[in-house]
């Protein structure tokens, strides 16, 4: 038996354990040496690399931020008297790269039926006078209605105005523009605590919002008091509704849907063309 199997050796398990214990001891010694070395020389410092200031925000770069109104100047046009002089001077010319949602500003020859610059000035003064007279409660609305009818007739022939002409012929009665705007201009003055600016647009030069309109003109303040209800800009404020602007008057509220298409048409004829809803403004 002894010759076949040889001498009985020590237990393999015991030998492995002793060998492992020896290796563990050496490992602990190495770890201890590393720790001691770290204590002597100290830890390496963490390095942070300067990644720069990053990309500027739209507002800081002069790009119209989301939620703000953008504007551009129609090439070779004049500043509409209803538009803020500051915003006009700072605005850029409209081009093929201008977003569809921007408001187009300007009047002059070739726009709204004007053949010459003199024609354009006469048409503009005529419309401004209608706004002044239109505030009179007794005869004002008749003048506004007559002017808008003429504008409708011309607008159907003008590719720039055609889509803005309301083709609704089943209106139960004539719109009462004077009552609507007289009510809204009065109530808006109260709600806005005297602020005469009905709409602000982003000025890329000063990188902030400025008033879109020339608020030094009473007739302009009167017309634009309905801006948030009569346009597609979504400019209605969080705490103001069209019903509030109408002083909770049902008759006034009914005039909003009746008058809105014509006010939009009148604004464009006077050099402030708000994009149609299909162009990105809902």
**How far is the C-alpha of 269 from the C-alpha of 110, rounded, in Å?**
12
**What's the pTM?**
0.74
**How far is the C-alpha of 29 from the C-alpha of 9, rounded, in Å?**
31
Of 187, 176, 268, 270, the residue nearest 222 (C-alpha): 187
For 93, which DSSP code? Answer: B
Structure tokens belonging to residue 48? 């942070």
3 state SS of 52 = coil
For 71, which DSSP code? Answer: E
3 state SS of 8 = coil
Mean pLDDT by 10 residues, the chain (282 residues): 38 44 48 45 50 48 76 95 96 94 92 84 95 96 95 86 70 89 95 91 92 96 92 54 92 92 93 71 38
3 state SS of 272 = strand
**How far is the C-alpha of 261 from the C-alpha of 272, rounded, in Å?**
14
Beta carbons of 281 and 275 less than 8 angstroms apart: yes
What is the structure's pLDDT at 156?
Answer: 86
What is the structure's pLDDT at 214?
Answer: 97
Of 107, 101, 61, the residue nearest 88 (C-alpha): 107
């Amino acid at each position: 038996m002894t010759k076949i199997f040889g001498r009985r050796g020590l237990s393999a398990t015991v030998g492995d354990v002793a060998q492992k214990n020896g290796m563990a001891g050496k490992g602990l010694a190495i770890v201890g040496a590393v720790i001691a070395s770290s204590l002597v020389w100290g830890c390496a410092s963490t390095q942070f690399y300067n990644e720069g200031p990053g990309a500027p925000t739209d507002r800081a770069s002069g790009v119209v931020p989301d939620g703000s109104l953008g504007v551009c100047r129609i090439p070779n046009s004049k500043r509409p008297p209803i538009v803020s002089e500051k915003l006009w001077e700072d605005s850029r010319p409209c081009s093929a790269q201008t977003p569809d949602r921007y408001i187009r500003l300007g009047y002059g020859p070739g726009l709204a039926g004007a053949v010459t610059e003199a024609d354009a000035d006469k048409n503009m003064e005529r419309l401004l006078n209608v706004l002044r007279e239109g505030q009179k409660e007794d005869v004002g609305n008749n003048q506004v209605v007559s002017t808008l009818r003429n504008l409708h007739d011309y607008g159907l022939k003008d590719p720039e105005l055609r889509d803005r002409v309301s083709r609704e012929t089943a209106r139960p009665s004539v719109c009462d523009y004077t009552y609507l705007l007289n009510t809204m201009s009065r109530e808006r003055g109260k709600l806005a605590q005297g602020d005469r600016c009905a709409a602000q647009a982003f000025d890329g030069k000063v990188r902030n919002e400025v008033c879109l309109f020339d608020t030094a003109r009473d007739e302009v303040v009167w017309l634009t008091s309905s801006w948030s209800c009569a346009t597609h800009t979504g400019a209605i404020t969080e705490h103001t509704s069209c019903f509030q602007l109408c002083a909770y008057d049902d008759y006034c509220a009914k005039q909003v849907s009746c008058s809105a298409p014509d006010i939009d048409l009148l604004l464009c004829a006077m050099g402030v063309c708000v994009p149609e809803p299909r162009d990105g403004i809902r």
